[in-house]
Structure 1
Amino acid sequence: MKKIKIAILFTCFNRKKITLRTVRHFDLYRSLYQLSFYIVDDLSSDNTVEELKKLNTKKINMFQTKGNYYYSKSMSLGMKKILDSHDVFDYLLIINDDVNFNDFFLNKMVLFQQKNNCITIGACCDSSHKLSYGGIKFKSMFSTKYEMIGPNKSSVSCDTFNGNCVLIPYEWFQQIGPMDSFYSHSFGDFDFGLQFKKNHFPMHVMNEYVGICNRNEKKNTWLDSKLSVLKRIKLKESPKGSPFLSTFYFYSKNFNVFFAIKCSLFQYFRILLKK
């Protein structure tokens, strides 16, 4: 029986043990699938690349940036490399390497995808088993407010997703193309998912969690209301914050110019009001 071919893409930066743990997890599936890793390292200084190269029993395609690509640019680069390889896959699996995956989650995702013919979103829970990442459903076409969708609402058709774990039919990925390289860090996965929505590809959350991944803390980020106004603005405009140009671009591209102006300015009002 021909093995299902899956390209697995993720980025990494200076968390060698976590990255190696994630790659080794996929040993569980070696007999079932033909797996090819595409890993984009954002110039780690902890020998991540060297350690990954030692795993010569796996098909690992390593790419290293010049630094400061962050999540979205790195994912965009990785997707371009996959498409440029001209290899033929059945699925693209995008993951974050900090997800502590449950055993055999991939088998369940493939079965769910085959049954429902959809992009399959693997939701994550935090250490207290509360939903932390999953599918995204906007309240309406006239609102940027959204609900995060978890495994208990697998019948809900999502608008986009957190990119922590998503299984995408490869032919659909080929039609949409890579993640938009305009973004450095934030917005990339949301924007990527919205392109599938615009092209009427269905997205559903699998009906059980794929693993544990705690939410990023707000402390010492631009969302931390305890910081000074100037400090928060500086953090907001940093690549890992919510820079004005990225915010405006995302909302104008996926909603409209009115939303882009409103959402871009609202972030500054939020800081000034210490919210």
Structure 2
Amino acid sequence: MQKTPLIAILITCFNRRETTLSCLASIESAISGSADYKVVIVDDGSSDGTADAVRAAYPDAVVAIGSGNLYWNGGMRMAWQNALQLHADFYLWLNDDTILRPGAIRDMLSKYDQENFAKTIVVGCTVDPETKQTTYGGYRRSTGLSRLRLRRLWSNEQYCDTMNGNCVLFPKTTTDDIGINSHKFTHAFGDNDYGLRAIRAGYRIVELKDAVAEQTHNAEFVKSTSTLTYANWRKILLHPKGVPVVEWWAFCREHGGPIWPVNFFWRYIKMLRLRAG
């Protein structure tokens, strides 16, 4: 008799209690009896009672409290650290604003089995509720000199070079072969970095064909990091939710290949050009 797999579901949250609870409420039907699971959630210093609400509704969940300065990658790193003691068969990154459709996690597990390759990572993509275009999911590297130009998958593609971290299933071997989220990144870059390191370590990243959730793209974040001005330079260059110089430097140096300095400077130059245009 085949053993029922255990999934450690990793979530980080901050001050959106009802959204977080809606995400948690979607998990049971998303698994559809295909696995046992344990939620490991980091509340990064919420002031709206998120942690207490999660404990009340889901007493079996592991709830850890962050410093308030973890942001996405730091929160997921802390969640993964707390989950290691569970010795789970799989780990699932899940954004707290991703409300999963019924059967979503079951389908991701099935896709993992279908690949018949132990070092497989399965990405669950999300789509815009109106346009049905992919909002978050896998990426392929574009052709050309730059190794940091990423594009969404075309309709006939399923294999990825990296991914967004909204909903991603990892086999337990990743913690030995790759580790957990890098300490070099606070908010952005952590998911893309992990995917690129996984490929380098011999892993296969595949995107599930059917979307796991409907989710709008965070247009406000894109807009806030697209232009560099006198008014916002401090946020762009220093804040975790901008394009912080130290972290962007580390990402480019790690993954940009021989022309990584060009990638590093060009992103900021392009912001100035967009403003001038």
TM beyond 0.5 = yes
Question: In structure 2, the residue corresponding to 1:71 is in which secondary structure?
Answer: helix
Alpha-carbon shift at residue 222 of structure 1 (Å): 2.7
> 2:74 and 2:174 mapped to 1: Cα distance?
21
1:146 and 1:31 map into 2 onto residues whose CA distance is 36
CA distance in 1, matches of 2:96, 2:217: 14
| Contact 1:153–1:205 (Cα < 8 Å) also in 2 | no
Counterpart for residue 137 of structure 2: 134
User: CA-atom RMSD, angstroms?
Assistant: 1.9
> Which amino acid is the alignment partner of residue 221 of structure 1?
S
Structure-1 residue corresponding to 2:247: 246
Identity of aligned residues (%): 25
Mapping of 1:1-275 within 5 angstroms?
A: 2-28=3-29, 29=31, 31-56=33-58, 59-83=60-84, 85=85, 87-116=86-115, 117=117, 118-128=120-130, 129-140=132-143, 142-143=145-146, 144-149=148-153, 152-155=155-158, 157-218=159-220, 221-223=224-226, 225=227, 229-237=229-237, 238-256=239-257, 258-259=259-260, 261-273=261-273, 274=275
Deviation at residue 112 of structure 1 after TM alignment: 0.8
Determine the C-alpha separation between the residues in 2 that align with 1:172 and 1:50: 31
- Whether the 8 Å contact between 2:13 and 2:43 is mirrored in structure 1 is yes
8 Å contact 1:233–1:268 — kept in the other structure? no
Q: Secondary structure at the match of 2:93?
A: strand
TM-score when scaled to structure 2? 0.89
Aligned length: 266
- Structure 1: which 5+ residue stretches go unaligned? none
Contact kept? 1:222, 1:233, Cα under 8 Å: no
Query: Which consecutive aligned stretches of 4+ in structure 1 deviate over 4 angstroms post-superposition?
Result: none
- In the alignment, structure 2 segments of 5+ residues that lack a partner are none
- 1:121-176 CA-partner distances (Å, limit 9, x unpaired): 101101221111111110248322121126x3444x21111001111111233321
Return the offset for 1:94: 0.6
The answer to whether the 8 A contact 2:27-2:100 is kept is no
